Structure 1
Amino acid sequence: MNEEAGLNRIDGMRPDGPGFGALAVGVRTLELVHAGRKDVLRGGVRDRRLTVEYWYPAVAGGGAEYRTLLRDGRRAVVLRGRAGRGAEALAGDYPLVILSHGFPGNRILMSHFGEFLASHGYRVASIDHEESTYGDAAYLGGKAFPSTLVNRAADTGFVAGELGGDYAIIGYSMGGYGALVAGGARLSQTARDWAAGEGFDLPLPEVPARLKAILPIGPWGRQRDLWDASGMAELAVPMFLMAGSEDHVSDYPSMRRIWAEARGERHLLTFQGAGHNAAAPIPAPSEAWERTEGLSFVPFEHYADAIWDTLRMNNIAQGFALWFLDRHLKGLAAEAPAVPLGVTLEHGQ
């Protein structure tokens, strides 16, 4: 077990990382209710409850603890960072970044982005997508996937509306699917016909005027023809896609098709040799190094890559995300970070 895992830190920064910003960071846990949503799993209408971890520039920081669950949905763990829990917000107009986890996941899975971006002048809201989190009964019962397909873009749009301001979405795996849908990538007729046969309708959301960019990481769906080339060409916002070249979950060649078929400004950052866990998850908590009842694999495998150091990937992803967000949410025109060894960066217009 390495030292970083033993400390369960979400705020690790290597000497060759991009560095935290000058601002202190606060954090709060919000409980939001999206009233009157169609219940995909049970029929009828119900309120959709979304727990959100919300980071922001603060007057003073602290040493926040984050109490969460491991991948098994049962074992409690405590993670630590630099934010001040409930700290007074720093006055100012800060753009918003929405974090959308995978299936399953939770609002802490990408929390390294939260503290980092807030220190650089962003508000960051990470969502627990109901029916897609580790401990959710619907997920544990194996019935939750239609809810993820239908609700991801609606969840991010609702949270952005509640918190206000221009925003971007960083989405991992199924969160990447939701980011693409929110950004205007039209789902295929093949996907719609399949969903209708399963008894639900896929979303056709309008692109919110305040959504300025998306950053899908390992986005799932192109390998199952959820989009075709014409639908992907309708993506209406700039995109920075991150992927591992050995991702066999979302399928790296299919993610390259997302990048190639989209139009407008788009970038593809590839971690050579990395799998599906590239860039997005926090370093595996110390408890994840042990086997746990109810899983056929060690929870460590949900967070870590077989080749790459997780903290190294986190820091690389943070640096490029900051550059891209500064460009589209703050209008800054800085040079992109240098491309590290083992990573490739491709551009499209």
Structure 2
Amino acid sequence: MKHYIIATAAVALGAQGALAENRIDTQLPNAPELAGYGDLTVGVRTLEMVNPDQIDILAIDPQAEKPAEWPRYDRPLTVEMWYPAAEGAEGDTSLQAYLRDGTTEVTLVGKAHRDAEPAAGEEAYPLVLISHGYPGNRFLLSHLAENLASKGYVVASIDHTDSTYRTQAAFGSTLVNRSLDQLFVLEQMAQKAADGGEFAGLYDAGNTGLVGYSMGGYGAVITAGGGVTEASVGYGWGGPHGTLGIHQAGSETHEDLFDDRIKTAVAFGPWGMNTGFWDAEGLAGVKIPMLFIAGSQDDTSLYEKGVRAIWENVSGVETALLTYINAGHNAGAPMPAPEESYYFNEDKGFNISEHYTDPVWNTARMNNIAQHFVTAWLDEHLKGDAEAGTYLDLVENSNDGTWSMNEDGTEKEDHSYWKGFPEGTAKGLVYEVKTPE
């Protein structure tokens, strides 16, 4: 009886979070093939960067006259870096992160070892930048960052100042700075790989992918070459006094922004089409292949008039759109909701867990599917892996795929099931491909 009481108490404590493990590395039994972790040991560390002499958007009064000179400041950015580590490396596998409420600090648990020695590879790994939403933080897509690092990528996930849970400020700063942050971090990472330090030769910043979620996706579209509309530059609630004009389609500043070290981009639920930031002319400027990922019931960026419309209007490069049917804005990107987030916050007016979850889909399931597709996309475009591309050669609607196998495990001629998905698991998804016009 005593043993039973102790066990019951332990379960009760777990239900209250005392024994909770907020894992970011969950692999469900029905996860598609490429969602699985790779063979490499993973390290993680925190980098502090400062972008000097930037326009201080928060110091500009949109109601006052336009200043003769823009106020300027040195813009701090914190970056979390996941990377292949030396075999046998050990270290703390927990991450300390803040919740959406901006005040509650929680512990996340994964596979990456804190401050582990980097691997000594024979050839440099591709670099991947991750850019969170508004608000968000550098850990929001940590499940994807760690997963990619185990497969031979170095991942730099950015805390965007004025846009994190703890620094959330005027939206204009996010609109103007998001793409600038991405490119500054790219340059900083390039310097770290070339300066003869411990990261020398670990990764190739000249072979970089960009992953953005929501406002990070908005920034990814700009970074990829998509220019915003003239109307959006003039929005009173946007960049004050036309500061967003540096990203306007056709402007010299926007044309000069593009960095050919970035070879491809993935945008989860990119924002902006729903409020007039994009049009066909501006999106025609996208210069690199892009994978778009969306929920068909996205009520933040919208779907038909939002993410899907962005995808339809990118005309000059190869693109694809993965849709989670009936999922919302959180389709695929956010990590599973930490247990401490399941409470109603009076100041925010909602249950904090809603920032991470979906009303229909299981978050870990969405994460596993995203890990599978992003791996296939990046392996094909950054590693030149032709086999990875076969995982993207699919019938459009997953529900239409036919499972037809011989007894020896080989496919019959009429087999059309989504490659990498176990039998019966490719449901509720659509994958569409568009080639350049």
TM-score of the pair, normalised by structure 2: 0.76
Name the amino acid aligned to 1:99: I
Q: Does 1:284 align with 2:337?
A: yes
Moved more, 76-85 or 63-72: 63-72
Q: Secondary structure at the match of 2:307?
A: helix
Inter-partner Cα distance in structure 1 for 2:16 and 2:22: 10
Conserved 8 A contact 2:94-2:108:
yes
1:134 maps to: 165
Larger Rg: 2
Give the one of 99, 112, 115 matched to 2:130: 99
Cα RMSD over matched residues?
1.8
Q: Which aligned runs of 4 or more in structure 1 are off by greater than 3 angstroms?
A: 195-198
Name the amino acid aligned to 1:48: R
1:20 maps to: 37
1:175 maps to: 216
Deviation, structure 1 residue 293: 4.5
Moved more, 6-15 or 171-180: 6-15
Give the one of 184, 189, 199 matched to 2:241: 199
Inter-partner Cα distance in structure 2 for 1:200 and 1:70: 33
Name the amino acid aligned to 1:347: V
Query: What stretches of structure 2 of length at least 5 have no aligned partner?
Result: 1-14, 61-70, 191-204, 248-253, 393-417, 420-425
Conserved 8 A contact 2:82-2:154:
yes
Which aligned pairs between 1:79-158 and structure 2 lie closer than 5 A?
Answer: 79-92=108-121, 93-136=124-167, 139=168, 143-158=169-184
Which aligned pairs between 1:292-303 and structure 2 lie closer than 5 A?
Answer: 292-303=345-356
Q: Deviations over 1:73-94 (max 9, x none)?
A: 0111111111010000002311
Name the amino acid aligned to 1:308: W
Moved more, 207-216 or 9-18: 9-18
Q: Deviations over 1:88-111 (max 9, x none)?
A: 000231111111000000001110
Conserved 8 A contact 2:173-2:239:
no
Deviation, structure 1 residue 63: 4.5
Deviation, structure 1 residue 290: 2.0
Give the one of 33, 36, 46 matched to 2:53: 36
Q: Secondary structure at the match of 1:54?
A: strand
Inter-partner Cα distance in structure 1 for 2:348 and 2:314: 37
Aligned residue pairs total 343
Q: Does 1:341 align with 2:427?
A: yes
Q: Does 1:258 align with 2:310?
A: yes
Q: Deviations over 1:11-58 (max 9, x none)?
A: 111123221000000000000111111111104110110011100000
Percent of paired sites with the same residue: 46
Which aligned pairs between 1:223-262 and structure 2 lie closer than 5 A?
Answer: 223-253=274-304, 254-262=306-314
2:250 maps to: none
Inter-partner Cα distance in structure 2 for 1:318 and 1:207: 27
Inter-partner Cα distance in structure 1 for 2:368 and 2:383: 21
Name the amino acid aligned to 1:266: T
Which aligned pairs between 1:1-16 and structure 2 lie closer than 5 A?
Answer: 6-16=20-30
TM-score of the pair, normalised by structure 1: 0.94
Deviation, structure 1 residue 232: 0.7
2:99 maps to: 70
Q: Does 1:210 align with 2:261?
A: yes
Q: Deviations over 1:217-269 (max 9, x none)?
A: 01100011101111111111100000000001101012111111102100000
Deviation, structure 1 residue 332: 1.1
In structure 2, relative to structure 1, the CA distance for the partners of 1:197 and 1:64 (3 Å cut) is: closer
Conserved 8 A contact 1:62-1:82:
no
Deviation, structure 1 residue 315: 0.6
Conserved 8 A contact 1:61-1:82:
no
Conserved 8 A contact 1:10-1:283:
yes
